[in-house]
Structure 1
Amino acid sequence: MTSPVRLHVTRHPGDDPVLLVHGFATTGALTWQSTGWVDALAAGGRGALVPDLRGHGASDAPHDPAAYSPALLAADLLAALDQEGLGTVDVIGYSMGSWASLALAGLVPEIAPGRVRRLVVGGIGTVEQFAHWGVAAVQAAIRDGVDVPDPGFALGPLLASLRRAPGIDTEALAACVEGMAQHPLALGPVGIPTLLVAGDVDPVAEDAGDAARLLGAELVRIPRRDHITTLSARAFKQAALPFLGIPASL
């Protein structure tokens, strides 16, 4: 395993910070601050630790696919926890951030046993999406805006928004796609309380029920929400915050 890279990490004030792990082609601030999660945690008396994953935002962005896997993303998160002097934490991950969070929580046991107290993951099923849709096709969509020739392409809305985003390192994201696809996680119990949240019209999480059973997780479905809109749903916060022992005064 390669050494952790330099992550850009923002620590928001409050007790017992919750580690918030964003998904593919976004940043910690866009995922967790602009959607109200940091404020909701603060209202419940909790802080937040919000990193940009490698290849994203202001963090280092390797162009080598070998620099990307759930285990490597989790090792970066562990280094961020150590740097902040945090031992055991609650974690919320979304989409690709859910896979990194699961690796940190125990699906890659050599990373950090015992560092995650409770885990909320969102926007996943059992399928690693990059390999499922084809690495070359997804990379072409990222680099050149080429449409994936399948009307059911679940990552289409995400990649469409990516094309309009300023400052994106498309080569880093293309490397991330290849690296993550080469290292799918086999879902299984992580041995800690786990909640899985999925929009009921999210094609990425269409088999979230199967994923929850494999993880031994509780499952909450958010009505009429897709992969993009689930993240900002009030119902997501109303499920996740009490699960972590935080009042959800929304």
Structure 2
Amino acid sequence: MTEATTEFFPGFGGAQLALHRLGQGRPVVLLHGLFSSAEVNWIKFGTAARLSEEGFECLMPDLRVHGKSAAPHEPEAYPQDVLVRDLEALVAHLGLVDFDLVGFSLGSRTSARAVVAGLKPRRLVLGGMGLEGLAGWARRQDFFIDVIDRFGTIRPGDPAYLSQQFLKSMGVDREAARLLLGTMADTDPAELGAISMPTLVLCGDKDDDNGSAQRLAEVLPDASLVLIPGTHMSSVTVPEMGREIAAFLSR
């Protein structure tokens, strides 16, 4: 299998953001989760390879503050919905017109916000996301800010412990991450009516970190729900992730 290549493109404000590519064919943009990276969410466990085998070109940015992308410390680098602006910059940079969009967790949140703002992918996949992760984001934001503020002192048994350990293992810049968390607002469920393209809500059967995937699928105009094995952390590691995304995008 051909290995992914890496290049850089200018995001909002000129921030240099990493883009990893794998495969040839129909373009699909894949956005990873909070504190993660394209490598961990899409490449390491074979999801991108499965999609490339099915005839897709995987376009996988590292979100601002993540992976190989810039993590500026200037507050002006973090306007509201800056990740949406970065996604819009990527689409413009590549000249994408007919493409699919896949997100996981924070990537799903960014994807949904981008579509509400006017982005028009052919098909959309929202992985690891429930209705409350969009409409009640403030609670999740407070949780992650607490992880950053108590970093290094959180002990096993604390609900924040696993997030602390993941943040540590990924080497995320905590100062920049705190600024990024402040750019995210709740999404009114009424706004989700703008997500009119066929949408797959894809979630681990033991994942309720972002609320109810069932409720999210119910409020979207044209959505189906598929459950795969796993928790929020483990569902990205199973082959069913790539299989279900490929099947949905190939219809």
- 1:39 corresponding residue in structure 2: 49
Q: Which of residues 158, 180, 185 is equivalent to 1:176?
A: 180
Give the Å deviation of 1:207: 1.1
1:145 equivalent among 145, 148, 152 = 152
Q: What corresponds to 1:131 in structure 2?
A: 138
How do 1:175-214 and structure 2 match up within 5 A? 175-180=179-184, 183-187=185-189, 188-189=192-193, 190-214=195-219
Q: CA deviation at 1:89?
A: 0.8
The structural deviation recorded for 1:228 is 0.7
Percent identical: 29
Question: How far does residue 199 in structure 1 lie from its aligned partner after superposition?
Answer: 1.1
| Structure 2 CA distance for aligned equivalents of residues 23 and 174 of structure 1 | 15
Structure 1 residues not aligned, in runs of 5+: none
The 8 Å contact of residues 147 and 163 in structure 2, kept in 1 or not, is answered as no
Counterpart of 1:108 in structure 2 is 117
Match of 1:157 among 162, 181, 205: 162
C-alpha separation in 2, matches of 1:226 and 1:46: 27
Question: Shift in Å at residue 202 of structure 1?
Answer: 1.1
Structure 1 residue aligned with 2:32, among 22, 29, 32?
A: 22
Long gaps (5+) in structure 2: 1-11
- Give the aligned partner of residue 78 of structure 2: 67
Aligned to 2:100: 90
**1:138 positional shift:** 2.9
Q: Which amino acid aligns with 1:51?
A: P
Q: C-alpha distance in 1, partners of 2:155/2:250?
A: 42
Is 1:219 aligned with 2:219? no
Mapped to 2, the partners of 1:14 and 1:74 lie a distance apart of 25
Cα drift, residue 5 of structure 1: 3.2
**Distance (Å, rounded) in 2 between the aligned partners of 1:131 and 1:65:** 21
Extract structure 1 runs of 4+ deviating beyond 3 A: 2-5, 146-151
What SS does the corresponding residue of 2:85 show, helix, strand or coil? helix
For residues 58 and 239 of structure 1, what CA distance do their matches in structure 2 show?
A: 28
Q: Deviations over 1:189-246 (max 9, x none)?
A: 30100000111211314411111111232111124x1001111222222222111017
Aligned partners of 1:237 and 1:72: how far apart in 2? 28
Deviates more, 1:14-23 or 1:200-209: 200-209
Question: CA shift at 1:150, angstroms?
Answer: 9.0
Q: Distance in 1 between matches of 2:42 and 2:200?
A: 18
Deviations 1:64-123 (A, max 9, x none): 387154x3212211211221232121111000000111122x2123xx3x3x11001111
Residues 144-183 of structure 1: CA distance to partner in whole angstroms, max 9, x if unpaired?
Answer: 23439995x4x642332212334x2111112222322xx1
- The normalised TM-score by structure 1 is 0.82
SS of equivalent residue, structure 2 residue 129: coil
Q: Distance in 1 between matches of 2:37 and 2:76?
A: 19
- Paired positions, count: 232
TM-score by length of 2: 0.82
